Structure 1
Amino acid sequence: MEEILSQNEIDVLLSAITSGEMDAEELKKEEEEKKIRVYDFKRALRFSKDQIRSISRIHENYARMLTTFLSSHLRTYVHIAVTSVDQVPYEEFVRSISSLTVLNLYSMSPLKGNLLIEVNPNVAYALLDRTLGGKGTTVSKTDSLTEIEVILLKQIFEKATYNLKEAWSTLIEVEPVLEEFEENPQFIQMVAPNDTVVVVSMSAAIGETTGMINLCIPHTLLEPIIPKLSAHYWMDNTAAEPDENAYRKLSNNLQTAEVDVRAILGETTISINEFLKLQSNDIIALNQQIENPLLLTVNEEPKFYVQAGKQKRKIAVQVLEEIKKGVNAHE
C-alpha cells in the first residue's frame, strides 16, 4: 500500500522543491534506484520465513529431546538449544565446518535424500570421555578417531535417531537410519555445491564442555513436504477432528474418575470463644431453612439442589434440580 501524505507534508515538500532545497530529478532517480535489488543466483532463497520458522520449531523440539536422551545416557549435565536456522549453498556449509569433525549421514525414508548431522570435535570427545567413565572433558586431538572410538560414537548416534524420528513426526513419519560416519567433510557429497540447504545450528553443553551441532537438510529432501511447513498447515492440523479411539478412551477414563461429593446441611458462624465453650447437647443454629432444599457440591463446586432422606437404611439425598451457571441459589 502506497504512503499517503497529509496536506501539511505536501505543502512542505512543494516549498522545498520551489526553494531549491530538493531536486525533483534526484528524487525520481532515487526512487528508480530503490526498485533495483541485487540477487545472487548462487545463493537462492528457496524457503520463506514462515517455512524457516516451522523448521526451527521442529528442531527446537528435537534439541529438547536430545538433551533428555543424552542427560540420562551420560548421567551428566547436558543442554542443547537451537541458536540459528539459515539457508545457504551446500559448499558454503562445507567451508564453514572444521576439516576434522564428526559427520553422521542419515537416510530419511520415505523421503529421498539424506540429512547430515555435524558434531563439533569438542562435543564428540566429551561424549566419548563420559561414555568411558571420565568427567566429560574434551581432549585436543589432531589425529583421526580410533576404531573403538568410532564404534562407541556410532552407537550413541544410532540410539539418538529415535529423537529425530519423534521430532519429525509432527510433519511426516520418517525412519532415520545412520548410513555413514565420516570425519572429513570432503568425503561426503550429498548434493551439488550450489544447491540450497537449511542449516540448523545448535549449541551443546556437556558438563563443562561446549560446542556446536549442525544439521544440514538439503532442499531436495524437504521439497515433497514444503506445503506442510506453512503456518496454514499447522493451524489446520491443530484444528483437525480428534481421533475417535483417543476420544473414546478419554471419555471412558473420565467416567471412572472419582470426585468428592458433599451434601451441605447448613452453615453458620460462631466466635472462637463460643467454640471453646461448646459442650455436649449444645445446639448450633444453621442458616438453612428446613423447608429449603440442601446444596450438593462436587469437588466444592455447587451442582445440584437435593433433599435429605434414607435409602436402604442409609442416609441419602434425592436430586431435585441441577444448578445452572448464572442462576441464583435458593434462599
Structure 2
Amino acid sequence: PEKLSKEQIRGLQIIQQGVAGSLAASFSGRLRAPVEARLSALERGIYEEYVAQVGTSSIVVIIDMSPLQGYAVAAFGVDVAFGIIDRLLGGRGKRNAKALNRELTDIELALVRHIGMDVARSLIDPWQRVTELTPDVTELALGTQVLHVVPPSEFVITAWYEVRFAEQTGGISLCFPLTILEQILPRLSGQSIFENRPTRGANKDTRVQEGHLRPMEVGIRAFLGSARVPASDLASLQPGDVIVLDQEAEDALRVMVGNCERFAGFPGTSGRRMALQLTGVVDDDGWVKPFEESAS
C-alpha cells in the first residue's frame, strides 16, 4: 500500500533537491574545488532492499535526526571517499584503483568522518521547511555492519545523488525510514512547503541584458522518466522487454532548458514530427504552475 501521498512525495523531492545544493556547497568548500551534485532519483521501498543496493564496498554513515526520533542512513562508495581523501591530502582528487582493495587507515577514517558530517549538515537548511534539525553522525563504518539501526521490513524513502568533482562521478544515497517521515508528514503538503520556503533576493550584478541573450541558442530536452535497473537485469534484456519508469502515464513531462527544469507539458505530434505542448512553468521549488496561474 502507498504510505505517502503524491503531494507528500513531491514535498520530499523539493527538500532533497535542496540537499543536493547543500552537498555541492559543502563539498566545494571543503575541497576548495568546484563540486556538482544533483538529485538523480527518489525511490520508495523497504529497508532490506536498500541494504542490498548499498553492498559491502560502501562507506555507511548513521545519522541521528534529532530532535526527530530515529536515524537516517547515508552511504557512498569507497571510490568517492578515496577521491575526496586524495584531494584533502593535496592530490587532484583522482581515484586510486589500488587503494580500493585495502582497508582505510585511521587518518583516512577520520577524514571520512568529516565527509559524513558534511552529509549530515547538508540536511539542516533544506529541512528547515518542515522542522529544525541538529543531525549528528553516531556511527560510521565500511560495509553493512552498522546497518542494523532500521528493521529490514521498514518502509523507506531513498534519495540518490550524483556527485561530480575532479573529472569523476560518484554516488551518495540518503535513506529515511517511515518512522522519521511520519513525524513531519502534516508539514509536507505543498502549501506548507511554499509557506516555509527561503526568500531569494534579486542580485543585480548577475543580470544579463536581454539583448545579449536573444541571439543565443539553448538546448531543450523533455524527459519521459527514469528507472533503476539491476545490472543483472540489464545484461539479460531482450527486444520487447518493458522497463517501468517512475513517471505516471497521466503526469506532465518535465522540460529542461539547458540544465534547468523550467516547463511541463504533454507529448504529441505536429505533422510528421514528435512535439510537446507546454502547459505550465516549473518554479524554483519544483512545483508546476499552469500558465494561467503563473501569468496572474
Which residue identity is paired with 1:110?
Answer: P
Match of residue 199 from structure 1:
158
Tell me the alpha carbon deviations over residues 217-240 of structure 1, each in whole angstroms, 9 at most, x when there is no partner: 0000111111111123234557xx
Match of residue 94 from structure 2:
137
> Paired residue for 2:116, among 132, 137, 157?
157
> Paired residue for 1:227, among 183, 186, 191?
186
Which residue identity is paired with 1:171?
Answer: V
SS in 2 for 1:109: coil
Tell me the alpha carbon deviations over residues 20-44 of structure 1, each in whole angstroms, 9 at most, x when there is no partner: xxxxxxxxxxxxxxxxxxxxxxxx4
Q: Is the 1:45–1:196 contact (alpha carbons within 8 Å) kept by the matching residues of 2?
A: no
Q: Distance in 2 between matches of 1:132 and 1:138?
A: 13
1:114 maps onto 2:114 in alignment:
no
Instruction: Give the superposition deviation at 1:149.
Output: 0.4
1:67 maps onto 2:27 in alignment:
no
Instruction: Give the superposition deviation at 1:185.
Output: 1.5
Match of residue 97 from structure 1:
54
Identity of aligned residues (%): 30
CA RMSD of aligned residues (A): 1.8
Q: Is the 2:51–2:147 contact (alpha carbons within 8 Å) kept by the matching residues of 1?
A: no
Question: Once superposed, which parts of structure 1, at least 4 consecutive aligned residues long, lie more than 4 Å away?
Answer: 235-238
Gapped regions of structure 2 (runs ≥ 5) = 200-296
Q: Is the 1:122–1:210 contact (alpha carbons within 8 Å) kept by the matching residues of 2?
A: no
Match of residue 175 from structure 2:
216
Match of residue 214 from structure 2:
none
Flag the 1:152–1:78 CA change in 2: closer, same or farther, 3 A: same
Q: Distance in 2 between matches of 1:45 and 1:52?
A: 11
Instruction: Give the superposition deviation at 1:114.
Output: 0.3
Instruction: Give the superposition deviation at 1:172.
Output: 0.1
Which residue identity is paired with 1:87?
Answer: R
Flag the 1:46–1:142 CA change in 2: closer, same or farther, 3 A: same
Instruction: Give the superposition deviation at 1:203.
Output: 0.4
Q: Is the 2:46–2:153 contact (alpha carbons within 8 Å) kept by the matching residues of 1?
A: yes
SS in 1 for 2:135: strand
SS in 2 for 1:232: helix
Q: Distance in 2 between matches of 1:206 and 1:234?
A: 31
Match of residue 8 from structure 2:
51
Match of residue 251 from structure 1:
none
Flag the 1:147–1:59 CA change in 2: closer, same or farther, 3 A: same
Q: Distance in 1 between matches of 2:120 and 2:127?
A: 11
Tell me the alpha carbon deviations over residues 148-182 of structure 1, each in whole angstroms, 9 at most, x when there is no partner: 10001112332453322112111100110110001
Tell me the alpha carbon deviations over residues 201-255 of structure 1, each in whole angstroms, 9 at most, x when there is no partner: 00011111211100000000111111111123234557xxx9xxxxxxxxxxxxx
Q: Distance in 2 between matches of 1:95 and 1:45?
A: 22
Flag the 1:67–1:95 CA change in 2: closer, same or farther, 3 A: same
Q: TM-score scaled by structure 1?
A: 0.56
Q: Please say which of residues 157-166 and 216-225 is displaced more in the overlay.
A: 157-166
Q: Which has the larger radius of gyration?
A: 1
Match of residue 126 from structure 1:
83
> Paired residue for 2:139, among 177, 180, 184?
180
Identify which of structures 1 and 2 has the higher relative contact order when contacts are C-alpha pairs closer than 8 Å and 6+ apart: 2
SS in 2 for 1:185: coil
Which residue identity is paired with 1:172?
Answer: T
Gapped regions of structure 1 (runs ≥ 5) = 1-43, 243-331
Q: Distance in 1 between matches of 2:73 and 2:128?
A: 18
1:78 maps onto 2:35 in alignment:
yes
Q: Is the 1:122–1:209 contact (alpha carbons within 8 Å) kept by the matching residues of 2?
A: no
Q: Is the 1:123–1:206 contact (alpha carbons within 8 Å) kept by the matching residues of 2?
A: no
